[in-house]
């Protein structure tokens, strides 16, 4: 069916940040109340012309915004975006019949993102490295990105050089770059498996580039020195490509929220513990049992704890908490539980917690919908949602992160 020209009024924003008009018709980079005009196809107006702009609209501060798909909300005032994200959490809770007080939000500053995954594509001459355009396989270079830490931006020419050497014109390299406290840590996927000579060339390139570590499809090719991260009193070297909070300021805000939530608890279980983002700082005052499905991340946590000073005991357990949640009788020995699941939430573990007698739960979530679902389980089991705090570490994106406290 051919596109049809239409004039529409945006009534609200969807969870991905698109404006929504009656139909529904999805209209990217628009705001509630705006009147827009353009071709509509498949329930979408891909290239709207703004007829009547919202008073919340501003000029996007980034020169790449029109072509880059990394950000979705640079055209809106910061206070509008924060309010919209609060509303996303409130609406997710309301859908489960839950209300809760909100603490003041944490908003991560610009130029603070310490990890990003770029796409690299080799060209006839040179290479192109950047982010995909919105809903497209087009790659946009981002030399003046407002989100990235300056050291990541400064490394883009290195990634272009590597892509020109090792990339393919028929495929793409995925370049996961992390700024560790010891330098740049690069994990590459999508390239050809390195043979002996190529492995040697890559190792030489990594040394000349000054990388702390280069990994290729999970194999460490070169490590000048361990790419550690200072977490509390410990130095932790995660495995290549391991999960870390995207910015240090947001990590500190989440750690502070969790510490406040658990209070003076002396024996804490940290579920979905990762590399120890919460377990290690909490061990300054409490014994911690860290549970995580990824054994390599737990090994990094354990090594960091063993070489640190001034920490109480941290024990670790590799366990799939989705299929094998910790049962109420095993939770009885803990004064508090920290739970930070991935986007899917922790349905089975939340239901087990709901049947436990743990006095306090500190929850961290990157998905308000699954958080609300799990919160309902806890509340039905006798917990009260005491407070929620928004932590916006993905500026200009629809991504929402939060911390919360549940009390029995």
Question: What pTM was estimated for this model as a whole?
Answer: 0.94
Q: For position 134, what pLDDT does the model report? A: 81
Tokens coding 212: 């702390």
Q: Compute CA distances 301 → 133, 183, 228, 239, 254, whole Å.
A: 36, 19, 11, 10, 18
Tokens coding 84: 């919209």
Active site residue 366: yes
With a cut of 50, list the residues of the chain below it in pLDDT: none
Q: DSSP label at 20?
A: E
Q: Which of 15, 73, 65, 116 is nearest to 397 (CA)?
A: 73
Q: For position 172, what pLDDT does the model report? A: 94
Ramachandran region, residue 75 (left: φ > 0; alpha: ψ -120 to 50; beta: rest): alpha
Q: Which residues pair with 174 in a beta bridge?
A: 119, 189
Q: Give the Cα separation of 85 and 34 in Å (integer).
A: 19
Which residue in 68, 71, 275, 366 is the catalytic one? 366
Contact 105, 168 (CB under 8 A): no
Q: For position 288, what pLDDT does the model report? A: 98
Q: For position 280, what pLDDT does the model report? A: 98
Q: For position 3, what pLDDT does the model report? A: 74
* Residue with the two structure tokens 């990235």: 148
Number of residues that make up the chain: 408
């Amino acid at each position: 069916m051919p596109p049809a020209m239409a004039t529409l009024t945006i009534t609200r924003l969807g969870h991905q940040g698109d404006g929504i008009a009656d139909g529904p018709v999805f209209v990217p980079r628009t705001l509630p109340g705006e009147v827009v005009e353009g071709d509509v196809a498949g329930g979408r107006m891909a290239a709207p012309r703004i007829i009547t702009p919202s008073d919340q609209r501003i000029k996007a501060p980034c020169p790449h915004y029109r072509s880059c798909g990394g950000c979705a909300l640079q055209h809106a005032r910061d206070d509008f975006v924060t309010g919209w994200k609060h509303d996303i959490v409130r609406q997710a809770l309301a859908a489960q019949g839950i209300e809760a007080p909100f603490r003041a939000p944490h908003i991560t500053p610009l130029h603070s993102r310490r990890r990003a995954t770029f796409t690299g594509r080799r060209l006839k001459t040179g290479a192109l490295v950047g982010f995909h355009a919105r809903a497209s396989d087009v790659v946009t270079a981002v030399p003046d990105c407002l989100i990235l830490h300056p050291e990541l931006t400064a490394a883009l020419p290195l990634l272009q050089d590597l892509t020109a050497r090792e990339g393919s014109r028929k495929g793409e390299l995925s370049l996961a770059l992390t700024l560790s406290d010891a330098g740049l840590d690069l994990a590459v996927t999508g390239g050809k498996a390195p043979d002996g000579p190529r492995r040697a060339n890559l190792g030489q390139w990594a040394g000349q580039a000054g990388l702390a570590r280069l990994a290729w499809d999970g194999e460490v090719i070169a490590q000048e020195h361990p790419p550690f991260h200072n977490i509390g009193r410990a130095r932790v070297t995660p495995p290549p490509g391991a999960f870390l909070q995207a910015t240090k300021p947001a990590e500190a805000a989440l750690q502070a929220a969790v510490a406040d939530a658990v209070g003076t608890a002396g024996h804490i279980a940290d579920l979905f513990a990762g590399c120890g983002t919460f377990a290690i700082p909490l061990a300054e005052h409490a014994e911690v049992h860290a549970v995580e499905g990824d054994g390599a991340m737990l090994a990094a946590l354990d090594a960091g704890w063993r070489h640190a000073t001034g920490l109480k005991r941290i024990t670790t357990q590799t366990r799939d908490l989705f299929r094998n949640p910790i049962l109420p009788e095993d939770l009885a020995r803990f004064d508090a539980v920290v739970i930070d699941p991935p986007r899917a939430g922790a349905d089975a573990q939340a239901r087990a917690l709901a049947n436990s007698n743990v006095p306090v739960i500190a929850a961290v979530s990157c998905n308000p919908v699954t958080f609300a679902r799990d919160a309902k389980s806890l509340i039905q089991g006798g917990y009260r949602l005491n407070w929620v705090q928004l932590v916006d570490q993905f500026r200009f994106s629809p991504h929402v992160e939060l911390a919360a406290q549940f009390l029995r």
